[in-house]
Amino acid sequence: MKLSAFASSFLYDPGKPRFRDYPTFLDGDDTTLPGLEASLDQIGEYQRRLWANQSRAVLLVTHGPDTSGKDSLIRTLATYADPAGFHAWSFSRPRGAETRHDFLWRVTPFLPGFGEMVAFNRSHHEAVIAERVWPVHEADSYNWENRYRSIRNFENHLVEEGTTVIKIWLNLSEDEHRQRLLKRLDKPRKRWKFDRSDIDGWEKRREYEAFAEEAIAATHTEQAPWFIVPGDRKPQARPIVAAILAEQLQKLAPEYPKEDESVLKEYRRLLAKTGVE
């Protein structure tokens, strides 16, 4: 994946495996970031070109702790997207039939087809992050190295077959996480999101992040890289991700497909027969 200097500045660095090695917010004026509206406009335009060309696909994977803003980020990125070629899917802990198949089974039907852009709110990576904290099988039945290898092979296969894979970790500080949970309690329209697992999630936050650090280190590749995006301030996180996504879309679909002049000529002839000039 070819990246601009801006996108590269948020690329995961194997020499810095801990989230604390990365900022949770950027110092300085937000005006130093690419304009969000301009990037959203580009996403809308180049996503339509992607849909028109039907030759490549984009998979955007978003991860982060609870309240890190994954839902609102995806809603923002979809502002000008053509719904015919954009879809978003959310994955919680495996249950039911999902636990009776290999861990990649549940995401496979929701992968983008050629021409499509798909956003995952959490993903197959939960199988090497959340399942380490809250296993759905006997704990000693897991082979984490095998799962890491399967993810690398799976994503490499997607890339080789024409899907660009962009993986985002929203890096949220513990203090900001606490404040957002408290604000959620104060907002009736968000209280429904709470259940007892959220209490357990907060208590095991550090354990969850430690496994996330290990998983990102094991699944970051040149073909399907991770980006560590400061998550404490949503007005910073959104333009960063939007700029990264817009850049890749532009590379995949710089132009609309060339029109077929013979088809246009026939349309003009048929319309002329009905009195349309």
Q: Which of 169, 167, 171, 170 is nearest to 223 (CA)?
A: 167
Average pLDDT over residues 207-236: 97
Nearest to 83 by CA among 123, 114, 51: 51
Band of the pLDDT at 275, cuts 50, 70, 90? confident
* pLDDT tens column, 50-74: 999 999 999 999 999 988 999 999 9
**Which pLDDT band, with edges at 50, 70 and 90, does 197 fall under?**
low
What pTM was computed for the model? 0.92
pLDDT at 269: 85
- Our CA angle for 196, 133, 96, nearest 5°, is 70
| Rounded-to-integer distance, Cα 35 and Cα 114, Å | 29
CB 25 within 8 A of CB 233: yes
Assign 197 to helix, strand or coil: helix
pLDDT (0 to 100) of residue 277: 60
Average pLDDT over residues 236-257: 96
Which one of 3.30.360.10, 3.40.50.300, 2.60.40.1170, 3.40.50.200 gives the CATH number of domain 3-271?
3.40.50.300
Q: How confident is the model at residue 270 (pLDDT cuts 50, 70, 90)?
A: confident
Q: Mean pLDDT score of the chain, rounded to an integer?
A: 93
Q: Residue 248 pLDDT > 70, yes or no?
A: yes
Phi, then psi, of 101 in degrees rounded to 5 = -130, 170
Residue 198: pLDDT over 70: no
Query: What is the structure's pLDDT at 195?
Result: 63
Q: Stretch 219-240: mean pLDDT, rounded?
A: 97
85 CB-near residues (< 8 Å, 6+ apart):
47, 48, 50, 51, 115, 116, 117
- Residue 48 confidence class, pLDDT cut points 50, 70, 90: very high
What pLDDT, on the 0 to 100 scale, is given for residue 40?
Answer: 98
pLDDT-based confidence at residue 194 (cuts at 50, 70, 90): low
Domain spans of the chain, in order of start: 3-271
Q: What is the pLDDT of residues 1-47, one digit of tens each?
A: 899 999 999 999 999 999 999 999 999 766 689 999 999 999 999 99
Task: Encode pLDDT of 107-159 as tens digits.
Answer: 999 999 999 999 999 999 999 999 999 999 999 999 999 999 999 999 999 99
The helix (run of H) or strand (run of E) holding residue 44 is: helix 36-53
Phi, psi (5° rounding) for residue 115? 95, -15
Residue 268 has pLDDT above 70, yes or no: yes
- Mean pLDDT, to the nearest integer, of 199-205? 83
Q: Compute the average pLDDT of residues 98-105.
A: 97
